[in-house]
């Protein structure tokens, strides 16, 4: 994979110090080994952009809590840190990337944006548009959960539906742009979106100063994993980054194994509607590869058990996509024995019927 594979942005301003001084010189071996086409200075630039994104994001989306469950600690004989992105005002972490991108667009004079989304990114964009006095048109699959579509509508987003099976959402969005030009806010494969999602990792560093041994991240296109992974590893290269995906949609798992972007079979159940990307993003994959991420695959049963555990023990509702990381921990606890593990709970926007189905499956 050559360098032309990745499109990096022109340097944008940052107003805070990066993690540069926290990375030891012995880490250069890692950068030289990387097959991703990204080098250490690219990753440090992302860390600086995440630092710059943090005050933008916190202006409208305060830090989310880390929840703890003694039973999970006992399961791995370690410490499990549940990062509760499901309690964001938009019900998912996607507000982070949307705010980071759109605050900069707004400063540049834009008053309207277009986005395509499986749901949660659309909610984030609609919310950011409301905060910033912009308008947003969101291209959403017609079979997206009603809870997500309604939330976008309530936030004042204009919805354009498309058929997931016969239409390409990027083409639908670009046809809209042709008719009425407006910047596109990408859901994951964009530097500033990734920097926004990375603010979740920046919060974790403040909340868990002792450090994280392994981070399990619910993954679709790979933006959240890229952002969190880069930030955590800027503090310690010992931190392992693990993407969690539903069986059948495990394109990251397959791609990490083969060292190049590979298509998932796409033959699993579609409960995790936010994680149905068939291939990793180009930029996100390069970053995740540079961070030596590994991929975990999760069954529906473990996703359902994760949802039930969080609901029964903490009274917090997760959508299936937001429960995959915990499902991965529950299915392979031996991988994390004795460690301090970050588990992302990425979203809570779930229809009542799907939620009950999951609790029933969990038994
Ligand atoms: C709840 C939830 N978790 C995780 C993801 C995956 O995020 P990414 O595409 O950045 O990997 C999504 C994407 O929409 C999501 O909605």
Alpha-carbon span 136 to 303, nearest angstrom? 32
pLDDT classification of 271: cutoffs 50, 70, 90: very high
Q: Specify the pLDDT at position 34.
A: 52
Percent of the chain with pLDDT over 90: 87
Assess whether pLDDT exceeds 50 at residue 272: yes
Residue 275 alpha carbon to ligand 1 centre in Å:
6
Alpha-carbon span 194 to 320, nearest angstrom? 22
The continuous run of DSSP H or E covering 344 comes out as strand 340-345
Rounded to the nearest integer, the mean pLDDT of the chain is: 91
- Decide if 42 contacts 10 (C-beta within 8 A): no
227 CB under 6 A from ligand 1?
A: no
Note the pLDDT tens digit of each residue in 45-58: 999 999 999 999 99
Q: Spell out the long-range contacts of 176-183 with Cβ–Cβ below 8 A and sequence spacing 24 or more.
A: 176/114, 176/137, 176/139, 177/114, 180/112, 182/110, 182/112, 182/113, 182/114, 182/137, 183/105, 183/110, 183/113, 183/114
- Phi and psi, residue 334, nearest 5°: -60, -25
Distances (CA, A) of 91 to 23, 125, 128: 34, 13, 13
Residue 82 alpha carbon to ligand 1 centre in Å:
16
Local structure of residue 62 (DSSP, 8 states): P
Least confident residue range of 27-36, 155-164, 165-174, 263-272: 27-36
219 CB under 6 A from ligand 1?
A: yes
Assess whether pLDDT exceeds 60 at residue 9: no
Q: Specify the pLDDT at position 35.
A: 63
Ramachandran category for residue 17: left, alpha or beta (phi over 0 → left; psi -120 to 50 → alpha): beta
Q: Specify the pLDDT at position 165.
A: 84
Q: Whose CA is nearest to atom 16 of ligand 1?
A: 274
- Decide if 200 contacts 84 (C-beta within 8 A): no
Q: Specify the pLDDT at position 188.
A: 97
Residue 274 alpha carbon to ligand 1 centre in Å:
5
pLDDT classification of 31: cutoffs 50, 70, 90: very low
User: Which part of the chain has CATH 3.40.50.1100?
Assistant: 20-91+190-362, 94-179
Q: Average of pLDDT values for 311-337?
A: 98
Q: Specify the pLDDT at position 251.
A: 97
Q: Which atom of ligand 1 is nearest to the CA of 92?
A: 1
b/e 17-55 (16+ beta carbons within 10 angstroms → b): ebbeeebeeeeeebbeebebbbebebbbbbbbbbbbbbe
Q: Whose CA is nearest to atom 12 of ligand 1?
A: 274
CATH number of 94-179: 3.40.50.1100
Q: Specify the pLDDT at position 37.
A: 82
Alpha-carbon span 270 to 327, nearest angstrom? 16
Alpha-carbon span 232 to 27, nearest angstrom? 14
CB-based contacts of 360, cutoff 8 Å, min separation 6: none
Note the pLDDT tens digit of each residue in 150-173: 999 999 999 999 998 899 999 999
The CATH T-level fold of domain 20-91+190-362 is Rossmann fold (3.40.50)
Residue 219 alpha carbon to ligand 1 centre in Å:
6
């Amino acid at each position: 994979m050559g360098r032309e594979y990745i499109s990096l942005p022109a340097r944008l301003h940052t107003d805070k110090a990066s993690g540069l001084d926290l990375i030891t010189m012995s880490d250069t071996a890692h950068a030289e080994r990387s097959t991703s086409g990204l080098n250490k200075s690219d990753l440090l630039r992302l860390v600086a952009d995440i630092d710059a994104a943090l005050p933008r994001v916190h202006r409208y989306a305060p830090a989310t809590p880390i929840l703890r469950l003694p039973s999970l600690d006992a399961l791995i004989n370690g410490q499990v840190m549940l990062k509760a992105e499901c309690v964001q005002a938009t019900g998912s972490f996607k507000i982070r990337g949307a705010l980071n991108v759109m605050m900069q667009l707004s400063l540049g004079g834009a008053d309207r944006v277009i986005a395509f989304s499986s749901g949660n990114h659309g909610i984030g964009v609609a919310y950011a548009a409301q905060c910033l006095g912009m308008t947003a048109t969101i291209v959403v699959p017609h079979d997206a959960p009603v809870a997500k579509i309604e939330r976008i509508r309530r936030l004042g987003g204009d919805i354009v539906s498309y058929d997931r099976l016969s239409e390409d959402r990027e083409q639908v969005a670009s046809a809209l742009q042709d008719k009425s030009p407006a910047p596109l806010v990408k859901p994951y494969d964009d530097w500033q979106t990734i920097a926004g999602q990375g603010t979740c990792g920046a919060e974790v560093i403040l909340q868990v100063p002792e450090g994280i041994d392994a981070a399990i991240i619910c993954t679709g296109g790979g933006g959240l994993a890229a952002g969190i992974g880069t930030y955590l590893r800027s503090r310690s290269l010992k931190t392992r980054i693990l993407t969690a995906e539903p069986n059948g949609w495990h394109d990251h798992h397959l791609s990490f194994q083969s060292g190049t972007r590979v298509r998932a079979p796409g033959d699993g159940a579609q409960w995790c509607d936010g994680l149905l990307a068939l291939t990793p993003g180009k930029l996100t994959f390069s970053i995740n590869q540079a961070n030596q991420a590994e991929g975990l695959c999760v069954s529906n049963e473990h996703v359902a058990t994760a949802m039930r555990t969080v609901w029964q023990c903490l009274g917090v509702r997760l959508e299936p996509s937001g429960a995959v990381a915990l499902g991965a921990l529950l299915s392979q606890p031996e991988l994390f024995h004795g460690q301090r593990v970050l588990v992302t709970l990425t979203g809570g926007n779930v229809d009542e019927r799907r939620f009950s189905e999951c609790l029933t499956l969990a038994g």
